[in-house]
């Protein structure tokens, strides 16, 4: 089986060149296999992270997007459980029918296909730093928002025994995480310094989702909020 990538250049988007990636997969009889499919949900932070990443990269992959209605419980139906038993989005179905779950894994897949401009780092040291801080934002900031949401939102009332005490635990843990993150970021315009990275995207979608949980960072976290506002001003966010 062979694989070819055919980048097609389109009109500029917000002053940037846009590339459509059309990965063609061939079987032994040189027949083109089906295109990729993305299972997503616009309201889900991790799915939003992937969509913002694709915009920042100025990539329009040749994929079919399937919107999964999380509010109606579509993720728990047998059809979607066969795709991802965890009931999560996003999921990328590749041309050969295999599935890639988790937003960061899908992002790393696209980074391999289209490495420049890199949003995960240009050298081993840079990649290690970006991934470490991006994982911290995801686990300790977005993760604590998940704890709060599961114990606060009516959407999860049937799945979890909700507790005000757990909400307060989540908020306390989040404050501690933000204190550490504020020190990690420093005074640069973006999370990892002068260049935008996947860490900025994860931070952006997390803060973007914070208002519904009354979990917006305190104004004292100036470094965090500066990076958020700087990314918010990016042309792709216009």
pLDDT of residue 22: 44
Average pLDDT over residues 131-157: 94
User: Which of 24-28, 79-83, 233-237 holds the top average pLDDT?
Assistant: 79-83
- Name the least confident of 26-30, 46-50, 137-141: 26-30
pLDDT digit string (tens) for 212-226? 899 999 999 999 999
Could you tell me which residue, 6 or 55, shows the higher pLDDT?
Answer: 55
Measured between its terminal Cα atoms, the distance across the chain in Å is 41
pLDDT of residue 90: 97
Of 114, 137, 150, the residue nearest 198 (C-alpha)? 137
The two tokens of residue 191 are 């999370």
Could you tell me which residue, 43 or 171, shows the higher pLDDT?
Answer: 171
The burial of 44, by beta-carbon neighbours within 10 Å (0-12 exposed, 13-18 middle, 19 or more buried), is given as: buried
Average pLDDT over residues 41-66: 90
pLDDT digit string (tens) for 70-127? 989 999 999 999 999 999 999 999 988 999 999 999 999 999 988 999 999 999 999 9
Cα separation, 63 vs 90, in Å, equals 13
Of 148, 139, 141, 50, the residue nearest 90 (C-alpha)? 50
């Amino acid at each position: 089986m062979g694989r070819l990538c055919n980048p097609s250049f389109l009109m500029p988007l917000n002053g940037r060149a846009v590339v459509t990636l059309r990965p063609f997969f061939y079987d032994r009889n040189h027949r083109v296999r089906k295109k990729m499919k993305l299972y997503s949900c616009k309201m889900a932070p991790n799915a939003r992270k992937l969509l913002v990443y694709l915009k920042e990269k100025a990539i329009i992959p040749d994929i079919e997007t399937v919107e999964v209605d999380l509010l109606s419980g579509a993720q728990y139906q047998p059809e979607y459980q066969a795709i991802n038993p965890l009931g999560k989005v996003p999921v990328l179905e590749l041309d050969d029918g295999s599935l890639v779950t988790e937003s960061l894994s899908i992002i790393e897949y696209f980074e391999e296909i289209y490495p420049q401009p890199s949003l995960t780092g240009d050298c081993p040291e840079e990649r290690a730093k970006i991934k470490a801080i991006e994982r911290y934002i995801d686990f300790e900031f977005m993760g604590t928002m998940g704890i709060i949401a599961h114990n606060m939102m009516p959407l999860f009332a049937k799945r979890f025994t909700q507790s005000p005490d757990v909400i307060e635990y989540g908020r306390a843990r989040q404050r501690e995480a933000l204190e550490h993150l504020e020190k990690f970021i420093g005074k640069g315009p973006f999370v990892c310094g002068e260049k935008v990275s996947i860490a900025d995207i994860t931070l952006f979608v997390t803060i973007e989702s914070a208002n519904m949980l009354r979990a917006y960072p305190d104004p004292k976290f100036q470094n965090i909020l500066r990076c958020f506002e700087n990314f918010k001003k990016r042309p792709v966010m216009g």
